[in-house]
């Protein structure tokens, strides 16, 4: 179950358009795979070095703070996702999802508990949590 399988799951869930990765850090495999599949990727992180390294790989990356997001950055995004987010940013991710009216997908560290408002999906052995603010 390589992490790139998460990109395959996202491509199945989000037929086309822009997708934002929140808290990309220094793990670029999923964003690069989605880009390869034809998606417009927006990588978000608060760390300027992470943003710089993502840009060097050809990923559209910007600095933002999920606790106080610049909503203009997310214009046109069809979904949000995060890989192994720290527990304190999960709630702001879901709040941003709600404000934008787009689904959020989280691939947590094993053992991290996710909010009860999220639905667990098993995809090729990956435990993926889904939040859909529209309820569909």
How many CB atoms neighbour CB 34 within 10 A?
23
Write the class of the CATH domain 4-131. alpha beta
Whole-angstrom distance, CA of residue 114 vs CA of residue 32: 26
| Model confidence at 115: pLDDT above 90 | no
Alpha-carbon distance 70 to 26, whole Å?
22
Element (H, E) at 19: strand 18-22
In this structure, what token pair is assigned to residue 12?
Answer: 């199945």
Using a cut of 0.85, tell me whether the model's pTM lies above it.
Answer: yes
Question: Domain map of the chain by residue range?
Answer: 4-131
Residues of 73-101 as b/e, b for ≥16 C-beta within 10 angstroms?
ebeebbbbbbbebeeebbebbbebbeebe
Query: Tell me: the pLDDT tens digits for 53-111?
Result: 999 999 999 999 999 999 999 999 999 999 999 999 999 999 999 999 999 999 998 77
């Amino acid at each position: 179950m390589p992490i790139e399988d998460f990109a395959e799951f996202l491509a199945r869930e989000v037929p086309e358009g822009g997708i934002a990765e929140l808290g990309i850090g220094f793990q670029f495999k999923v964003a690069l795979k989605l880009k390869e599949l034809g998606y417009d990727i927006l990588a978000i992180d608060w760390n300027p070095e992470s943003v710089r390294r993502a840009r060097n790989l050809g990923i559209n990356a910007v600095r933002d703070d999920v606790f106080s997001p610049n909503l203009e950055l997310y214009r046109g995004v069809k979904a949000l996702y995060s890989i192994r987010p720290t527990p304190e940013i999960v709630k702001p991710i879901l709040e941003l999802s709600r404000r934008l009216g787009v689904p959020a997908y989280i691939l947590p560290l094993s053992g991290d508990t996710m909010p009860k408002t999220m639905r667990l999906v098993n995809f090729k052995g990956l435990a993926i949590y889904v939040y859909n603010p529209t309820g569909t």
